Amino acid sequence: QQPVQSPQAVILREGEDAVINCSSSKALYSVHWYRQKHGEAPVFLMILLKGGEQKGHEKISASFNEKKQQSSLYLTASQLSYSGTYFCGTVRGGGSQGNLIFGKGTKLSVKP
């Protein structure tokens, strides 16, 4: 089942903060976050695993509430380069092939 992302779109001024949410109706093993700029490939940002382990860029902050099957991506002091569409991908289960199911994305626009 496709995770639900919110908001669908957000516009920021440089230096402002934003939170992007990802919610699933199923128990999750991990949540992935990717950013895609227009016309380009998605780029990996972070993985949050059941049990608290995180992998990813040091400058990216995110949380994973296993009980609520929710994850949030925190973008602080936004820069123009943060603009793009952010996708969460969720993985159910663990210890077997865990394919990503992606949300529809959140479009972030950072203005000067």
Partner 1 sequence: NAGVTQTPKFRILKIGQSMTLQCTQDMNHNYMYWYRQDPGMGLKLIYYSVGAGITDKGEVPNGYNVSRSTTEDFPLRLELAAPSQTSVYFCASSYGGYGNQPQHFGDGTRLSIL
Binding residues vs partner 1 (CB under 8 A): 2, 29-30, 32, 40-44, 47, 49, 55-56, 87, 89, 91, 93-105
CB of 104 to partner 1, least distance (A): 5
Q: How far is the CB of 15 from partner 1 (least distance, A)?
A: 29
Residue 33 CA, distance from chain mean position: 4
Asked if the bond preceding 3 is cis, omega within 30° of 0, the reply is no
Q: Which is nearer to partner 1, 82 or 102 (CB)?
A: 102
Question: Which sign, positive or negative, has the C-alpha torsion 35, 21, 12, 15?
Answer: negative
